[in-house]
Structure 1
């Protein structure tokens, strides 16, 4: 059920000024004919009444038209498809149309060989959010940008409810829904421990991202829970792990050349597991009999590698559904605090793991 929308006339009456003055005061760009004091007072009234611009009227739509926008960063990450599918299904059930648009992120390469993720760092997302003033949308779901103050400010000026799906951002300025990476990594390593594996290496990236730190913490949690000492030399951070053209990682190859005494590997992501499996095969290390391997995400690489990968499955469609449901609550006037809602993952067992011999 859609409640009655607060109108410009309501704000005008409460503030004691004309509708034209209210319209100018609430415009995204400060209007020269409205003083800062008047603008501040009118905006405070609008916030108190819960006013949001009538995008349906602006688009000359009927009162039955309701839409939300989804912004996606450009990149190769296929998990956005099921997440958007879940969000779209949730919107459709409640009679909302979905408008999807991409935003660009510049690529950065640091001297140390680190590269930002496709949806991290400066982008044109804030400019696109500001342009939604011309689009008949009542709320915004954005993948990434949970730490982007420009995006948050652009949405605030439009009085546009906004929800994010972002496991990269660490210092949040917007609410977000993500997979519980720490719990997932712990469960993945516990699966290996349950198979009798005790000498477990961790192969990850060098990215400065929230989920990266959480998955390493989950690895350590599982070891501690089983009474297995953590060994720093069994953690192998690799550069350029998003570059799918790399068949192996030099850092991991050097690790194998040292002939480490290991019987299992937990990989930070499935895309990391693929080069790891190639290196193990080249080194003559049998998977899963000699070394069992677990990944994280349950992305496409998990089912096309040999052997198929046991992995921690992210609930992508559920993330999309929950994020859209949260956005619609914001549209209805609810308040969602800035923070993370964590969604539990699950283990998918395939042929890359087996009991220790």
Structure 2
């Protein structure tokens, strides 16, 4: 039977230091004392630890790469972020590996542990709900990690995000400026939110921005117009049930703000079912500016996430961490931009 290959974790346990210290010692980093470096190398030799050929290539400087963990789902808002990150990395002479977060054996832990044998210097985690698990797994193999996300309340990683609350407030103000007063909000039924949405922080923030804009304009929030859609994100659903019920009861909002662009197609179908026309009878707006926003009929007014800047900022933060500088655990927030198309119009 073959002997199991010694890992960084094995060396760290035997040497009595952290995995990150082992990684830095074996790579000859100056921030590890000569005594600790000698001890780590002695233990590594005794255990028969052998870094992979790709890791040796990294140390020689002949190859440089980063890894990106992405959701195991259809391409969505994060696809243009990923393209931007690839471009930013390439400009710095860095390759980018893409790893879908599948439901395979061992899950996320196994995926990240496997990166120990991949020529990668750090990890970008895109919209992965369990930041703590990623933090712990990356620490075990000595890899710095940052996130691109807006779904979790408690951060464990430096996280690039968009200004959801301010963006929603800006969109609601835009609808108010067009003369709309009865503005509905189609969000999610938070008590039945699919786990893939994480903790749904962005939904809460966008709803808060909507409420704040109405309050600032002196417009009371009609709770009957705050619609929690249980099938949020299910593209196979034809109609938005709570909106369908609202319109069937003869309750006609002036405008509808969708919590995300992916909600808008079902909203448009529901409106059309009741013989209403967008934007003549009801204006409709979204958030994200996914590619589909410009392909809808009519094209969707929305808040555009700064995809290019988000990808570049994530790469910059990760390179900073790789260089040994501090990257505080907090949100690094970029502003959204209003994109006006034909789905909204003045009353």
Provide TM-score, normalisation by structure 2.
Answer: 0.83
Q: CA RMSD in A?
A: 2.6
Distance 1:133 1:355, change over 3 A: same
CA shift for structure 1 position 23 = 3.2
Residue number among 262, 279, 282 corresponding to 2:253 in the alignment: 262
Q: Which residue of 2 aligns with 1:274?
A: 265
Segment of structure 1 superposing worse, 338-347 or 210-219: 338-347
The alpha-carbon deviation at position 178 of structure 1 amounts to 1.0
Structure 1 gaps of 5+ residues are: 26-30, 34-52, 107-121
The match for 1:68 is: 66
Decide which of 229, 232, 252 is 2:220's aligned counterpart. Answer: 229
Query: What corresponds to 2:208 in structure 1?
Result: 217
8 Å CA contact retained: 2:68, 2:97: yes
Instruction: Say which of 3, 23, 31 aligns to 2:44.
Output: 23
Preserved CA contact (<8 Å) 1:147 1:172 = no
Contact 1:12 1:22 in 2 (8 A): no
**Is the CA contact 1:177–1:342 (under 8 Å) kept in the aligned structure 2?**
yes
CA distance in 2, matches of 1:24, 1:223: 66
Deviation at 1:278, TM superposition (A): 1.1
List structure 1 segments (4+ residues) > 6 angstroms apart after TM superposition: none
**Corresponding residue SS for 1:224:** helix
Map residues 61-140 of structure 1 onto 2, 5 A cutoff. Answer: 62-105=60-103, 124-140=107-123
> Residues 311-344 of structure 1, C-alpha deviation per residue, up to 9 Å, x if partnerless?
1111222211111111111111111121211110
After superposition, what is the alpha-carbon deviation per residue over 1:15-57, rounded to whole angstroms, capped at 9, x for unaligned?
38545335379xxxxx7x9xxxxxxxxxxxxxxxxxxx99864
**Number of residue pairs aligned between Structure 1 and Structure 2:** 312
Offset of 1:250 from its aligned partner?
1.6
TM-score (normalised: structure 1)? 0.80
In structure 2, relative to structure 1, the CA distance for the partners of 1:84 and 1:24 (3 Å cut) is farther
Secondary structure in 1 matching 2:111: helix
Give the aligned partner of residue 49 of structure 1: none
Query: In the TM superposition, what is the alpha-carbon distance from 1:261 to its structure 2 partner?
Result: 4.2
User: Which range moves more in the overlay, 74-83 or 87-96?
Assistant: 74-83
CA contact (8 A) 1:103 1:123 kept: no
Contact 2:159-2:330 at 8 Å conserved across structures: yes
Aligned residue for 1:183?
Answer: 166
- Higher helix fraction (1 or 2): 2
Contact 1:133 1:158 (8 Å CA) reproduced: yes
Local SS of the residue matching 1:254: helix
Per-residue CA distance 1:221-262 (angstroms, 9 max, x = gap) = 111121111121110111112111111022211111122142
- Asked if the contact 1:146/1:175 (under 8 Å) is kept, the reply is no
Q: 1:300 to 1:60 in 2, by over 3 A?
A: closer
